[in-house]
Amino acid sequence: MNPRQVKQAMRKLGIKTEDIEGVVEVVIRTKTKQYVIKDPAVSIMEMQGQKTFQVVGESIEMPLQALPEKGLPSAPSEPKLPEEDIQLVMSQTGAPRERVVAALKACDGQPAEAIIMIVSS
């Protein structure tokens, strides 16, 4: 059967499918670890009031991070600084990593401003 025939057959059986666009990341948490899928293809299939999610992509297995009591991920207190920004500022200024990270945080993660801050001090 071709994909069009499959969709028609599913529609006749009362099965609805929908692709979700723009999904950036899917996280599946177990009691001991988590699976992170970056840039996945996600679709929803609804049948008899039940929704089934299909996630396709490369997964990374990671240790479980500390979660608040309600089981939801805690909001990060500070934005993560990209490693390439840290390396760029370090190479341009010769400053140690700790000083570069502090400067990037003070400049809201803007490498050019961090370089100017370090060089001018």
Query: What is the per-residue pLDDT across 41-51, written as a single tens digit (0 to 9) for each?
Result: 999 999 888 99
Q: How many residues can be counted in the chain?
A: 121
Tell me, yes or no, whether 88 lies in a domain.
yes
How many domains, the chain? 2
In 10 A of CB 54, how many CB atoms? 13
C-beta of residue 83 within 8 angstroms of C-beta of residue 108? no
Is residue 73 in a domain?
A: no
Q: Which domain holds residue 21?
A: 3-63
Q: Tell which residue, 67, 59, 73, 105, has the closest CA to residue 86.
A: 105
Question: Are residues 52 and 9 both part of a single domain?
Answer: yes
Burial of 114 (0-12, 13-18, 19+ CB in 10 A): buried
Residue 24 belongs to some domain of the structure: yes
Output the pLDDT for position 4. 85
pLDDT value at residue 73: 56
**What tokens were used for 34?**
């988590």
Could you tell me if 13 and 59 lie in one domain? yes
114 within a domain of the structure (yes/no): yes
Residue 77 in any domain: the answer is: no
pLDDT score for 69: 47
**What burial letters (b/e) apply to 81-96, b meaning 16+ CB within 10 Å?**
beeebbebbbeebebe
- State mean pLDDT over 81-88: 92
Same domain, 17 and 56: yes
